[in-house]
Amino acid sequence: MDAVASPRKMPMLEMPQDQQAFAIVDRIYEAAFAAELWPEVLAAASAISRSANGAIFVVSDHSPVRAITETHVQPLLDAFMKGDTWRFSESVKRMCAAQPATFVRVDNFIICEEIECDPVRKSATAFGIGPHLCTAIPMPGRELVLFVFQRWLKDGSYDQAAIGLLNGLRPHLARAGLVAGRLGLERARTAVSILREIGLPAAIMNGSGMSGSGRVLTANPLFEDMADVFLPTAHGGIAIADQTANALFQQAIAQNRDNRVVRSVPVAAIKGRSALVVHLLPLRRAAHDIFSGADILVAATVVGIGATVPSPSILSGLFDLTPAEARLAVELASGLSVQEAAMEIGIAVKSARTYLERIFRKTETSRQSQLVALLKSTWSFS
């Protein structure tokens, strides 16, 4: 079957790539709460990565697979979702098992003979689709959100530039996936229903207020029960009891409107309570309307206590670290010096020091001891 190119919006394509990516980030957070917008967001990400198509899959042990794709390949998705054919796909099984923390070429995880026998890949090939990219994002509720991009056979393999563009969007896709996975890829009609259905401690707030810390408009009972974590401030604002975490939290709130800062803030464990990660998600466009003009959704996820060193994927999601920066951060958190960490991951000490400076900026730390203390509070999600 001949591939038919999907329509793209020319105003987006005429922008420089960095501006395109910036515009897509806004739309990602909009789609997190208005699922009918995901096809448009996926199309925009496909356009800058020269993909034929993008799709989201939410895989769970306790519910059927849910998915959204671009409209021009809906027949292919319908065939994929029909019955249990997808369960026999080696591509799907390998990605669910590997849970790659960046976008990876799926063909690197399977051999040619498996591709030829894979029922999902057979259907894709017949449709004119070839190379696949995939990343997996584990959710606290044990759902697995997969983002998949595919190219037409005629366009050849993905190069590193295209993969890099999608990896730049990945931290935002991860945070949006946290909401989309819980809401079942369906539009939540009101702020109240979202806060109830999300199943996480959550609140919505304005991005600025007389107190400088924003104002809480409404919160769900799970959030209200965390009085030891979130403290009320003047004029309806909130603060985090942990001072280090609160400094990052207040900065993200203050900069949200102008700089569109998106941040996940680790909160260290205290006696009687596990460590937490507090996510700030900007509410843009349609999401802004759904939440009655609120600017930010604040959601908290509980962090497991089974390890003392964070995983690279968690650090990438929390602090928008590149894969190389995340690997270095993990080695530093395990107690190695910069020189030892550089040797362990096979890079020059000069490169390691450059990465460390970038990590300092992204985590708002200034000393290695301060960084390590912060990283050790970000144990892997349970």
User: Considering the entire predicted model, what is its pTM?
Assistant: 0.63
pLDDT at 353: 94
pLDDT at 192: 62
Tokens of residue 142, six digits: 């044990």
Q: How far apart are CA 145 and CA 1, in angstroms?
A: 29
pLDDT at 213: 53
Q: How far apart are CA 293 and CA 285, in angstroms?
A: 9
pLDDT at 83: 65
Q: Where are the alpha helices (DSSP H) in the chain?
A: 10-13, 17-33, 38-49, 74-81, 90-98, 112-117, 119-127, 160-183, 191-197, 221-224, 243-259, 285-290, 312-319, 323-333, 338-345, 349-363, 368-375
pLDDT at 191: 67
pLDDT at 15: 59
pLDDT at 146: 92
pLDDT at 8: 41
Where do the domains of the chain lie, and which CATH numbers do they carry? 10-183 (3.30.450.80), 191-302 (3.30.450), 312-375 (1.10.10.10)
pLDDT at 2: 38
- What residues are paired with 63 via a beta bridge? 60
Whether residue 205 contacts residue 214, with contact meaning beta carbons closer than 8 Å, is answered with: yes
User: Which residue ranges of the chain lie beneath pLDDT 70?
Assistant: 1-19, 62, 83-85, 140-141, 182-193, 207-213, 257-262, 292, 303-311, 313-314, 316-318, 364, 373-374, 376-382
Q: What is the pLDDT of residues 119-135, one digit of tens each?
A: 888 888 888 999 999 99
Q: What is the CA 331 to chain-centroid distance, rounded?
A: 23
